[in-house]
Amino acid sequence: MSIPLTAPTLPTLSKGSFSSGTAPFAGGLDGLMSIEGTAVQFGILPIKLPRETCSVDAENLLRRLGRFPHSDNPWLPVATLGPCLIFAHHAPRSEDMWGVPPFLAVKVAISQEQYEKIRRDLVLRLSATPLSKTNPLETLQIPSFTPGDLEGAFRWLLDHYPFESNQAEKLGLLYAEAVDRTGLVDREGYNSLMPSLGVALQYLLEGPLQLCFNPDEAPRQDRFPAPLLEKHNVYPIYSGEHKVYLLSAEVSNYNFEDEWLSQGNDPIDFVTVLADAKMIRAVISRSSSKVTSSTGIEIEKSTLSLSDSAGLVIIEPDDVAQINPKSLNHTAEELVHWVLYTAITSRASDLHLEKYYNVVRFRARIDGKLRVIYTAPEEMLPRFVAILKNYANMNQSRQEALDGRFALSLGQRRVDVRVAAVPCRNEMQKVIMRFLDKQDGMKELSQLNFSVRQSAIVKRVMARDQGLVLSTGPTGSGKTTTLYALINSVNDEGINIHTIEDPIEYEIEGINQTQTDPTHGLTFSNGLRALLRSDPDVILIGECRDKETATSAINASLTGHLVLTTLHANDSLRAVSRLLSMGVEPHLVGDSLAMSQAQRLVRRLCKYCKKPVTPTQQIRELFAHQGIPEDKHDTNIFAAIGCNECGGTGYTGRVALMEMTEMNAELSDLIERGGSQIELRKAAAKTGFQTLYQEGLIHVLEGNTTLEEIQKVSYTAF
């Protein structure tokens, strides 16, 4: 007998979403066993999922890899692992996996209760748009790979896997770049091309015996202290009665086990579950702190310690957890530590301390928006200000605007804090702190989300031995991050790279970095002159803000140096007019410019709660008007909803919109003849150039952000 799939409250299923065929397995003994028992019996991972829905990514992947199921109790897609689908069941004897080739499916065991809830969710999702009835992949045979041959598995995927539009091409390019840079690409190397890709390749090679999982779907844990997990980069994905399943990027975890035992704990049978190292780090920090919409910030257990070593402030995550910010029993310094810790672990980019009516408040900028994370009585302001100024080695004068910095050590992380104190009325002061995270700051080119066209441009441009590269965008648009990634992509011992910056945001091994120092007469333009004496191949000038710097930069880029710099301009083509208006000769710009790039950061949709919506006729006309072909926007876009993961905002993190113009003969000719913006755009359009707004629309179609978010760049559209 098969279980009726549609609960009375659910809408009728459209034909062909789930069939009513005979179930190969329905209920039985397995339903009575614990998840752990079931998992051990079937050699799969037991898990209590934090969400009882199929993720949007999983639904999309199911539509590409599968067909409608042949039974009423199939495996349920819950999440993705790179190119693989994670399927969950409470009764792992079921064989129905929607026609998805078994070697692309990772199985996990869940409770019957979760199974039923997820199935309900899935029925709803699929009743709107049913799956296709057939699956061309079903007959795909698992190839026989040589053990350990990650590259072989990767190449097989490129040839056989149904990647979206040009994703395979993009992966191929990223792979070629990674090989150029590091020679051999290892598991983590593949993970950096696409999250969890290396883990999935290992799974392809080793088959179902290899337990693996996606850390994004890990539930919270409180069994192990966060610093211990941070140190070994492991995370307990399931703590059972007999075994603890541990997410790890390494196959063995003896060091973690040894330290656990040496702390006097009882021995535990640890089972390794392979996962992406970077994602494990993210889940550890996500699990130890959290901003929620209603209650402010929750932090799990911890205490506090201070370092008096000048300029370095040490905050132990373990200590912070002992602080209850609502309690009056803490010193001002403890509260400052709590605020700094909370801001940084909530991915804040900056933190503002200020008086607001009769309270003092700390606001953190998280994903580009300021949010109040802590308030205290007004009388606390002078004490907070004094502590922060003391950290930054600033004098305590209330009348002066001051700048300073200090370093913060937070568990394994080192964060540089730049501090500015500004006098306000009534002898009050405001303190603004900006966080520069040394680990998060440096990005690989592959993390910058270039399109295939853009990757190709970057590759060509960075291979040149001379020329000028411009990056434009407002403050905080991530242009420095992009330039660092560009120079780091050519950073090897055969190349002499020199920078002049204000400030030096990230220290990069192998690169000579100079900080401007106007009080001692070291400016961008004379600093550039000085560093040219060391005959660098590649030069980064932090900012091009006057004619003198612009002219020296251009001269250098015409005499055997590749010069990268940032400029204030609205878009990549207006950067050209900006240079001209600074007084640089048009023919010099035309001759030297290799590439001009512009960017903006917009908020990224929260992947846990974003909801597909059908675009209205008006929206589809907008896409069409912006030159996006009909077949590309014949798809759902997504709306921001809000859930616990994103603090109710509907967004987490940010995504960069990039506009890139590569110079060619026609464009330089136009620049030399004083061509208008419109002429320049027309010429650029012939090369596949898209405006920031058009790039934004593509991100909307890809489900990365919303139309509301990209409206802010719409003034650059035409």
Residues in contact with Zn ion by the rule CB under 5 A: 606, 608-609, 643, 645-646
C-beta closer to Zn ion: residue 216 or 571: 216
C-beta closer to Zn ion: residue 291 or 336: 291
Rounded-to-integer distance, Cα 500 and Cα 515, Å: 6
Report the amino acid identity of residue 497.
Answer: I
C-beta closer to Zn ion: residue 168 or 643: 643
CB of residue 209 vs Zn ion: minimum separation in angstroms?
35
CB of residue 652 vs Zn ion: minimum separation in angstroms?
7
β-partners of residue 599 are 658
C-beta closer to Zn ion: residue 101 or 647: 647
Tell me the H-state helices in 392-546: 438-441, 452-462, 479-489, 524-532
DSSP string, 373-389: EEEEEGGGHHHHHHHHH
CB of residue 405 vs Zn ion: minimum separation in angstroms?
34
Tokens of 305: 């310690």
CB of residue 118 vs Zn ion: minimum separation in angstroms?
18
CB of residue 649 vs Zn ion: minimum separation in angstroms?
7
Place of tokens 């132990």: 316
Beta strand pairing call for 651-662 and 593-605: antiparallel
Reduce the DSSP state of residue 163 to 3 states and report it. Answer: coil
C-beta closer to Zn ion: residue 293 or 581: 293
Rounded-to-integer distance, Cα 414 and Cα 437, Å: 7
Rounded-to-integer distance, Cα 554 and Cα 547, Å: 10
CB of residue 364 vs Zn ion: minimum separation in angstroms?
18
C-beta closer to Zn ion: residue 121 or 543: 121
Place of tokens 């009050």: 428
Tokens of 662: 């590569």
DSSP string, 487-521: HHHT-STTS-EEEEESS--S--TT-EEEE-BGGGT
Rounded-to-integer distance, Cα 541 and Cα 565, Å: 5
8 Å CB contact between 221 and 287: yes
Reduce the DSSP state of residue 353 to 3 states and report it. Answer: strand
CB of residue 695 vs Zn ion: minimum separation in angstroms?
24
CB of residue 607 vs Zn ion: minimum separation in angstroms?
8
Backbone angles phi, psi at 36, to 5 degrees: -65, -45
8 Å CB contact between 338 and 374: yes
Rounded-to-integer distance, Cα 598 and Cα 73, Å: 50
Reduce the DSSP state of residue 479 to 3 states and report it. Answer: helix
C-beta closer to Zn ion: residue 150 or 606: 606
CB of residue 56 vs Zn ion: minimum separation in angstroms?
11
Q: Please give the distance of CA 496 from its chain centroid, rounded to a whole number.
A: 30
8 Å CB contact between 664 and 687: yes
8 Å CB contact between 211 and 274: yes
C-beta closer to Zn ion: residue 51 or 578: 51
C-beta closer to Zn ion: residue 51 or 600: 51
C-beta closer to Zn ion: residue 60 or 210: 60
CB of residue 646 vs Zn ion: minimum separation in angstroms?
3
Torsion-angle region of 654 (φ positive above 0: left; ψ -120 to 50: alpha; else: beta): beta
- For the chain, the distance separating the N- and C-terminal CA atoms, rounded to the nearest angstrom, is 62
C-beta closer to Zn ion: residue 292 or 309: 292
CB of residue 483 vs Zn ion: minimum separation in angstroms?
32
CB of residue 297 vs Zn ion: minimum separation in angstroms?
17
C-beta closer to Zn ion: residue 298 or 585: 298
Q: What is the number of the residue whose Cβ is closest to Zn ion?
A: 606
